[in-house]
Chain A
């Protein structure tokens, strides 16, 4: 049994879980190819232009799977992750959108996770994920869920120890754990705040991480943090959790804005993203309050890489300069202090 998983949106949050879960049940997962320009163009063609980039990308991935003759596609609706904590409309209605815009013959598996509804919790979600495949044994599903969590937890442990996402993903899927950080020491430390599906899709983020590495900058993201740290981050920004995907935005930003080891913060948001417009507003206001350098970047399918790179370079240059100055200043202070001490001793 084969099902297709679009390499987009919630793939970046839950794929390790899905891998563990479905493998345990003997279901083979086929991933769409990595995002390309062509894939984005094809996806965009089926939706109205106001639709945010990540959803266009998602549609492109569905088409990509269909092109590979995969005719069962897994497209969950993550409505809400806790009572009254909802996702944005597009993530909520994702399978509905796919069903209406992709005019081809295929089976759409569309489980709903809605923790604001009494009967739409996690096990129901899992049940709906496999029932269309003829798997209805609840004990078996529970067991598979355990396998899913194991894979997911391994993945999270690795990312939190500083292993980069592709490596952590590869290891988790192969049942391996490596806790050695892949982070190399750089000239400055930057936190990149965005949804996983934006930053880890190289086409969308224009290879931002590679660029930062070339510039000798260490990059940190929400994947390096625990839920507790992100909850603390949300508190730091004087707010409460409102959106289902707010941890990776407000939470991570709030944490890093108050982290003295971090020299600056870059936010990356897709043009037309509803939740981000309010979250970024708050992050920007508090960055000023906390005196942390901040760069806001917006992207859509027409954004050129060149302009992007220039802005990142200018920002990181500034951070490095600032860091140097502060090191020089603190050295100077030390020298002055020593001389003063000497003078005082001399006076005695």
Chain B
């Protein structure tokens, strides 16, 4: 059995590691690209949200490459996500593909569901290996998030464009290849060293931006046109507020094993003045993150990413003008879909960063100007 799964940022590194440890065969779909989107769009309902199309495209490309079993993840986002898998399944079957579907139903259970479904996917019945595989996957997710945070600092300040990324990618390959615990921690250490060896200008005038929004497009470099890298190029230190590890913490780790509030729980508290209820997806987190950005994180601005037709984020997008007014912080909402042109996108980013720089210089004089950044 050759197993595949959809992309969500760098999740593939964690998932493929787990499957390899269990002795399974993996087909990692080509990272999201134009063709993925074309294949997906062609076979998706018209007004479906953007991530759905890419996920379908991933499956189709992986099946072309020989995968015959697909992992599907139903996570408690309580949105259309909950319906993704049944709809995808029908489509894939209708396309004439004969594959096995393995559903990770994170509504039903958390770690246990993971355990049972990994066993089903790989046929490995050894409980010790299973636990080790899951642990490694979780460890790698944490490593990836940690490394990203450091990368963001260096990207914004590097002397030569792309330098930090080159070093980071070298490390990423080591992280990906590691199969043992020690090996992974070593890879992490190396990666951090590589990144830290990037020549930088520590006194460079930079601005900080909190990146918030719907998790899929925040993490997927293809959908967001590698926004973190673009911003880094513009001298922006990006603090991504939604990370893979937050998602894992909320949807996989049982609450009695967690330390402290999850990102969602924190955001819920700070969102309360604006949004009292959960409305599904990551909306409450988007609002909460913006409410925290200025005063708590001392960020200079916020960029809010959302997929076209994403229901929860449309609610968030409608509420955000009030939040940014009350909190006096510039917010730029970017709606992502297949029709977005690169040039226009970059122009909007540049204009926003300019605004932040101007504001920062003026700070102290007249902070109380109503900023219309949308």
Contacts and interface: CB of A to CB of B under 8 A. Distances in A.
Interface size class of A (residues with CB under 8 A): 35 or more
A96 B45 contact: no
A42 to B, nearest CB: 15
B232 interface: no
Interface stretch (B138-146, B168-176, B269-277, B351-359): B269-277
Interface string A278-303: 10111001000000000000000000
A136 interface: no
A89 B47 contact: no
A112 B277 contact: yes
Contacts of A110: 276
Given A274-B80, A277-B45, A101 B318 contact: yes
16 contacts: A48-B317, A84-B78, A88-B311, A89-B280, A90-B314, A92-B280, A93-B315, A96-B315, A97-B315, A101-B318, A242-B82, A274-B79, A274-B310, A277-B45, A277-B47, A277-B309
B312 interface: yes
A309 interface: no
A51 interface: yes
Interface in B143-170: none
Interface of B: 45-49, 78-80, 82-83, 86-87, 90, 107, 274-281, 283, 308-312, 314-315, 317-319, 321-323, 333, 335
A92 B86 CA distance: 23
B356 to A, nearest CB: 22
Contacts of A278: 45, 48, 80, 83, 87
A214 interface: no
Interface string A305-319: 000000000000000
A99 B274 CA distance: 8
B277 A50 contact: no
Contact of B318 (A84, A97, A242): A97
Nearest to B283: A89
B274 A50 contact: no
Contact of A274 (B49, B274, B283, B333): B49
B45 A280 contact: yes
A90 B311 contact: yes
Given A92-B280, A93-B283, A274 B309 contact: yes
Contacts of B322: 100-101
Contacts of B87: 278, 281-282
A44 B312 CA distance: 18
A89 B48 contact: no
A89 B83 contact: no
Contact of B314 (A77, A89, A100, A101): A89
Given A89-B279, A89-B311, 15 more contacts: A48-B318, A50-B309, A50-B314, A50-B317, A51-B318, A92-B277, A92-B315, A96-B275, A96-B315, A97-B319, A100-B322, A239-B86, A277-B46, A278-B45, A281-B45
A121 interface: no
Interface in A40-85: 47-48, 50-51, 77, 79, 84
Contacts of B46: 277
A239 B85 CA distance: 13
A277 B49 CA distance: 9
A94 to B, nearest CB: 9
Contacts of A51: 314, 318
A208 to B, nearest CB: 21
Given A272-B47, A277-B45, A100 B318 contact: yes
